[in-house]
Amino acid sequence: MRRFPFALTLLLLLAATLPARAQSAPFVKQSWTTSSCEGHYGNTHNYSFFGSRHQFCELRRITLPAKGEVKVRNENGGIEVIGQQRNTIDLEARVIVQDSSHARAEATAQKVIIHTDGEIHATGPSSGIWGGPSWYVNYRLYVPENIAAQLRTENGGINLRQLNGKIDAATTNGGLSLMNLNGEVHARTVNGGLSVMLGGDGWTGQGLWAQTTNGGVDVTLGSHYSAHLDVQNVNGGISVDLPNITRIARHHYAGNLGHGGATLSFRSTNGGVTVSD
């Protein structure tokens, strides 16, 4: 008879721990600031083919510690990373849902979880093709400018600005936009164009290697930019309107800009390449 109070006490203690466990879930609503997207879905976004479907967008914001490297994995949606003089990461996640009604779309959005422990990524309900809900997330991150980053998305673009670290960025279906970068950058896409704008006097760091399989390449450099330029493609024309860049082969141009320096390498399999100042 004395064992019953002990067993009851043990059950009560176990039950008391359940709320604490629930609070350790990856997405705790109270830890985010949420608001309406107000028509702004992010610079790298997708749209549903079903134009008559109702759309709901929720903007979630959170500040995270910067640990030297940030990783983002996305399936549907874009990734934008902006470097600043700061020591934390401000994450904006725009959760966008299409469904048969606004109420259903909003309810689906609440089931989308943004995980921030380790690799930033989202999980949620299965997306339907014919009549069911579909959803995706566009990420924008404000990060320390010298942070390392590993970025992956399947269907969406990648936009990088003002970064000076070791960057590895890849998308399958989406364009690449690279602006005022330094450090060591590897960026590639399978189906999408490549747009590059680099200002200043030259590249600081290991260099830039960017490529696309199916898409054009458009590069704009500062008028006094110094670097070693290497441009190649397989199918398509190449236009390089810069001094000291010579044609090495039919689809290969290379040479030093200004005082030379780090390598800027651009590749396209099926698409033209244009480089200018």
Quickly list DSSP for 192-225.
S-EEEEE-SSB--SSEEEEEEEES-EEEEE-TT-
pLDDT computed for residue 20 by the predictor = 35
Instruction: Compute how many other C-beta atoms are within 10 angstroms of the C-beta atom of residue 52.
Output: 7
Model pTM score? 0.85
> Shortest CA distance to 174 belongs to which of 191, 152, 160, 187?
191
221-258: b or e for each residue (b if 16 or more CB lie within 10 Å)? bbeebbbbbbbbbeeeebebebeebeeeeebebbbebb
Please report, for the chain, how many H helices and E strands are present, in that order.
Answer: 2, 22
pLDDT computed for residue 266 by the predictor = 98
pLDDT computed for residue 100 by the predictor = 85
Residue 271 φ/ψ region, left for φ over 0, alpha for ψ in the -120 to 50 degree band, beta for the rest: left
pLDDT computed for residue 51 by the predictor = 52
Q: How deeply is 217 buried, as exposed, middle or buried, from its count of CB atoms within 10 A (0-12, 13-18, 19+)? A: buried
Q: Where are the domains of the chain?
A: 27-144, 175-277
All residues at 6 or more sequence positions from 23 whose CB lies less than 8 Å from its CB, including other chains = none
Q: Do 57 and 138 touch, CB atoms closer than 8 A?
A: no
> Shortest CA distance to 162 belongs to which of 186, 139, 179?
179
> Shortest CA distance to 187 belongs to which of 205, 204, 165, 171?
171
pLDDT computed for residue 241 by the predictor = 85
| Structure tokens, 80 | 């934008």
Instruction: Compute how many other C-beta atoms are within 10 angstroms of the C-beta atom of residue 40.
Output: 12
Where would I find the beta strands (DSSP E) of 100-146? 113-115, 119-123, 134-144
pLDDT computed for residue 43 by the predictor = 53
Question: Strand 158-161's sheet: what is its strand order?
Answer: 33-36, 54-65, 88-99, 134-144, 79-84, 158-161, 176-179, 194-198, 217-221, 273-276, 238-240
Q: What are the helix (H) ranges across the chain?
A: 3-22, 102-109
Tens-digit pLDDT string for the chain (277 aa) = 444 444 434 333 444 433 333 333 444 444 899 999 987 877 554 444 445 578 899 999 999 999 999 999 999 999 999 999 999 999 999 999 988 888 999 999 999 999 999 999 999 998 765 657 899 999 999 999 999 999 999 999 999 999 999 999 999 999 999 999 999 999 999 999 999 999 999 999 999 999 999 999 999 999 899 999 999 999 999 999 899 999 999 999 999 999 999 999 999 999 999 999 8
Between the CA of residue 53 and those of 99, 128, 134, 137, 165, what are the distances in Å? 6, 12, 10, 17, 41
pLDDT computed for residue 41 by the predictor = 76
Q: Do 202 and 227 touch, CB atoms closer than 8 A?
A: yes
